[in-house]
Structure 1
Amino acid sequence: MTSRWGMAVPLVGVAAGLIFAVSATVSEGEDIRPAQADRSEALAELDRTVGAKQDEVGALRAEVEQIAVERGVSDRDDPVARQAGLTEVRGEGIEVRLDDSPLRGSRVPEGFGPNDLVIHQEQVQAVVNALWAGGAEGIQLMDQRIVSTSAVRCVGNTLILQGRVYSPPFVIRAVGPVEDMEAMLDGSVEVQMMREYTDLVGLGYEQTPQETVELPPYSGTILLEEAVAEKSRPGARTGSSGSDRAG
C-alpha cells in the first residue's frame, strides 16, 4: 500500500497547505470590510487573490486525483468523501435564480423601500436550507460547491462565499429528489415571501427543475479551526449563521 501512495502523498500535502493558506488569509487576515478604504476595490482585490489560490489548489487536486486513479486509490466512489462533498456529483435536480428588483425611484410601489428591492443573506440561506432539507445530495452556489460548514455572507448587495465575491443574480443548483426539494421550497416561509415580492416589486425568483445537474467537488477546507461551546441557560438557542443543512 505504501508504494501505491508514494507519489500521491506529497502532492496531497502541497494541496492541503495551499488550502490552509487560503483559509487563513480569508478568516484571519485583514478586515474585508474596511471603514475607510474603498469597499468595492477591497472586495475585488480579495476576490482576485482567493480566486488565484483556488485555481492553484484545483490544479493540484486534479493532478492528485489523476495519480490516484492510475494507482487504483481514487476516492471517487468513497461514500464518506461523497457525503462530505469532496467528489463531483451528477443527477436530476433544481436550479434557483435570485435577483434584485429592477425598480427604482417612482416605479417603486408605495409602502416599499430600498431594503425590499434586494436579495439578502437570509433569503439565500433559506433556499439552501430548504434544498438540504429536501434531500439534496449536493448544492452549488454560483460556481462553488458548498457543504454543511459553508457560510454565506452579504456586504451591501454582494455575496461573499469562501473568500470569493459575487454580485446578483445568485444562482443555486442542487442535485437530489426534485419533488422533495420542491416541497421544502414550497413550505419555506422565506421562499413564499420572495415569490410574493416577485409580483409586488419585481424581486427576481426563478425555480426550474433540471434533468441533469453536474456539480464540481468542494474546493475549500473541511477542517474546523475553532469551536466554541455555549453554556446552557434558560431560553438559550444554538445554531449557525452559515448555510448549514436544515433538519
Structure 2
Amino acid sequence: MSLLTNVMDHSLDDGYAEAAARKQADGAGGLPRTARAKLFLAVGLVLAALVVTVGAVQARVAAPVVAKEREELIDRVDRETESADELESAVDKLRDDVSSRQREALKQSGGERADLVGILSGAVEVHGPGVKLVVDDAKEATSGGGGGPRETAGFSDTGRVRDRDMQRVVNGLWASGAEAVSINGQRLTALSAIRAAGEAILVDNKPLVPPYTVLAVGDGKNLSTRFQNSADGLYLNALQENYGIRTAISVVDDVRLPAAPSVIVRTAQPKTEKDAS
C-alpha cells in the first residue's frame, strides 16, 4: 500500500522534477521571455494556423470535384452495364435464330430421322423420363496439404468438386444409357468440354456455380441403377465417403433439357500456296 500511495502522490519522477526546476532557475523553461523568442513563437503559430486553414479550404474545394468524378464513374458503369446487357440479349436472339435454322436444316436433310438426329446432336429441346443428380462441395471443405491424390494447384480444397469429377459423372451417365445430359442448364453435346479455370468449373467456357445439377433423359429407374453400379457411380460414392462431397440422385418422370447454344462443327484446313501469297 505504501508503494501505491507513493506512486499516486509523486506521479512525476523526481529526476524530471529536478530537471524542470533547473530549467526554471536558469530561465530556460516556460514561455519565451525575450521579444525575439515571442516573435518566433507567434510566427510559428500563425504558420501552423495558415497550414490548417489552407488544408481545410482545399479539402472543401476538392470534395465537390471528387463527388462529381464519382457520379460520372457510376454513370459510366451503368451505361456499360446496359450496353453489355443489350449485347447479351442480341447474342441470345442470334443463338435462337441459329438453332431454329439448324433444326430446319436437319428436317430437310434427315427426313424421318431428323428428330432423332436433333436429339442426339443436342440441336433441339428434349424432355422425357430420366434422373436428376445433384453434386455439391463438402459442407465444410478443408484445405488440403497432405499430398493427397486429389490435390491440384487449382483445387487445393480436398472437399471441392473438380472438373475431372464432373467429367466422370457425365461419361458414366452416357455409358449407362442417357440420351441427353445437361449441367446447370447447359446442354452437353459431342462438342462440349468440361474444364477448369482457376477454381471454377467451365462447361463450354461458361462458369458454373455449385451445387451442380445434372439432368439426364433416359429410362429413369434403369439409368439410375446402372449409373450407381458403374465404375463412375462407385467413384462418386467414394468421393462422398472419403471427402464429404454431397451427392443425391433421384428418378424424375419428366426431365426437360434446353437445346445446345451451338452445334457447329469447325474444322481446320491446310493452308495452300495461293492463300500464302
TM-score (ref. length: structure 1) = 0.58
Greater length-normalized contact order (CA 8 Å, ≥ 6 residues apart): 1
Query: Cα RMSD over matched residues?
Result: 3.7
The equivalent of 1:207 in structure 2 is 249
Match of 2:95 among 58, 61, 64: 58
**8 A Cα contact 1:158 1:168, kept in partner:** no
1:23 maps to what in 2? none
Q: Is the 8 A contact 1:91 1:214 kept in 2?
A: yes
1:198 Cα deviation after fit: 2.2
Match of 1:140 in 2: 182
Deviations 1:11-41 (A, max 9, x none): xxxxxxxxxxxxxxxxxxxxxxxxxxxxxxx
Partner residue of 2:233?
191
1:103 corresponds to 2:140 = yes
Is the CA contact 1:96–1:205 (under 8 Å) kept in the aligned structure 2? Answer: yes
Closer, same or farther: CA 77–160 of 1 in aligned 2, 3 Å: same
**Mapping of 1:88-99 within 5 angstroms?**
88-99=125-136
Is the Cα contact below 8 Å between 1:123 and 1:191 reproduced in 2? no
Residue 169 (structure 1) aligned to one of 207, 211, 215: 211
Asked if the contact 2:141–2:157 (Cα under 8 Å) also holds between the matched residues in 1, the reply is: no
- Cα pair distance change 1:105/1:217, threshold 3 Å: closer
Q: TM-score, normalised by structure 2?
A: 0.52
In 1: Cα distance, 2:265 partner to 2:219 partner: 29
Instruction: State the SS of the aligned residue for 1:82.
Output: helix
Per the alignment, do residues 52 and 155 of structure 1 end up closer, same or farther by CA in structure 2, a change over 3 Å counting? farther
User: 1:135 Cα shift?
Assistant: 1.8
SS of 1:55 mapped into structure 2: helix
CA distance in 2, matches of 1:171, 1:120: 14
Question: For 2:87 and 2:194, how far apart are their aligned partners in 1?
Answer: 16
Quote the Cα distance in structure 2 between the aligned partners of 1:161 and 1:143: 10
Q: What do residues 93-148 of structure 1 show as CA deviations (whole Å, max 9, x unaligned)?
A: 01111111121459x9x997744211111211111111111221211111111112
Following the alignment from structure 1 to structure 2, what is the Cα–Cα distance between the partners of residues 103 and 74? 53
Please tell me whether the aligned partners of residues 134 and 177 of structure 1 are also in contact (alpha carbons under 8 angstroms): no
Q: What is the distance in 1 between the residues matched to 2:87 and 2:224? A: 34
Change (3 A) 1:97 1:105: closer
Q: Does the CA contact (< 8 Å) of 2:172 and 2:232 recur in 1? A: no
| 2:129 and 2:219 in contact (8 A); partners too | yes
Gaps of 5+ in 2: 1-83, 270-277
How many equivalent residue pairs? 175
User: In the superposition, relative to structure 1, how do residues 83 and 111 fare at CA in structure 2: closer, same or farther (>3 Å)?
Assistant: closer
SS in 2 for 1:168: coil
Deviation of the 1:61 alpha carbon: 4.2
- Give yes or no for contact 2:192–2:203 (8 Å, CA) kept in 1: yes
Whether 1:216 aligns to 2:258 is yes
- Distance in 1 (alpha carbons) for counterparts of 2:180 and 2:238: 27
Counterpart of 1:205 in 2: which secondary structure? strand
Hey, what's the Cα distance between the residues in 2 that align with 1:50 and 1:207?
A: 37
Note the C-alpha offset of 1:200. Answer: 4.0
- Distance in structure 2 (CA, Å) of the matches to 1:49 and 1:189: 45
* Structure 2 CA distance for partners of 1:95 and 1:201, relative to 1, 3 Å: same
**Which residue does 2:29 correspond to in 1?**
none
Which string of whole-angstrom CA distances, capped at 9 and with x for unpartnered residues, describes residues 188-214 of structure 1?
Answer: 334323323324442121111111101
Alignment match, 2:71:
none
Separation in 2 of the partners of 1:139 and 1:79?
15
